[in-house]
Structure 1
Amino acid sequence: MRLGFLASHGGSAARHITAACVSGELSATPVALLSNNSRSPALAWAHEAGLASVHLSSAKLPDPNMLDSAMLDFFTQARVDTLVLSGYMRELGPRLLSHYAGRTVNIHPSLLPRHGGRGMYGDRVHEAVLASGDTESGATVHLVTSGIDEGPVLAQTRVPVVPGDTLETLKARVQAVEGGLMLRALKQLA
Structure 2
Amino acid sequence: MLNIAVLISGGGTNLQALIDNTKNGYINGEIKIVISNRKDAYGLMRAEKAGIEALYINPLEFTTQEEYNSKILEELEKRNVKLVVLAGYLKILSKEFIEKYRDRIINIHPSLLPDFGGKGYYGEKVHKAVLESGIKTTGATVHFVDEGTDTGEIILQETVEIREDDTVESLKARVLEVEHRLLVEAVGMLCK
TM-score after normalising by structure 2? 0.94
The answer for unaligned runs of 5 or more in structure 1 is none
The 5-angstrom pairing of residues 179-190 of structure 1 reads 179-190=180-191
Contact 2:26/2:188, CA 8 A, preserved across alignment: no
Supply the AA of the counterpart residue of 1:168: E
Contact 2:160/2:175, CA 8 A, preserved across alignment: yes
Q: Deviations over 1:124-154 (max 9, x none)?
A: 1001111111110100000111100000000
The 5-angstrom pairing of residues 111-150 of structure 1 reads 111-150=112-151
Q: Distance in 2 between matches of 1:186 and 1:151?
A: 16
Shift of 1:100: 0.9
Q: What is the identity percentage for the equivalent residue pairs of Structure 1 and Structure 2?
A: 34
* Equivalent residue number for residue 42 of structure 2: 41
Supply the AA of the counterpart residue of 2:55: V
Supply the AA of the counterpart residue of 1:128: A
The 5-angstrom pairing of residues 30-179 of structure 1 reads 30-179=31-180
**SS, match of residue 90 in structure 2:** coil
The answer for unaligned runs of 5 or more in structure 2 is none
* Equivalent residue number for residue 13 of structure 2: 12
Shift of 1:45: 2.5
Q: Distance in 1 between matches of 2:146 and 2:75?
A: 20
Contact 1:72/1:95, CA 8 A, preserved across alignment: no
**SS, match of residue 59 in structure 1:** helix
Contact 1:143/1:151, CA 8 A, preserved across alignment: yes
Contact 1:5/1:84, CA 8 A, preserved across alignment: yes
Shift of 1:18: 1.1
Q: Deviations over 1:15-60 (max 9, x none)?
A: 1111101011211111101110112222222233222222223212
Structure 1 consecutive aligned stretches of length 4 or more whose deviation exceeds 6 Å:
none
**SS, match of residue 61 in structure 2:** coil
Contact 1:110/1:116, CA 8 A, preserved across alignment: yes
**SS, match of residue 90 in structure 1:** coil
Contact 1:13/1:179, CA 8 A, preserved across alignment: yes
**SS, match of residue 141 in structure 2:** strand
Shift of 1:13: 1.3
Q: Distance in 1 between matches of 2:66 and 2:152?
A: 22
TM-score after normalising by structure 1? 0.95
Supply the AA of the counterpart residue of 2:140: A
RMSD, aligned CA? 1.2
Count of matched residue pairs: 190
Q: Distance in 2 between matches of 1:153 and 1:111?
A: 10
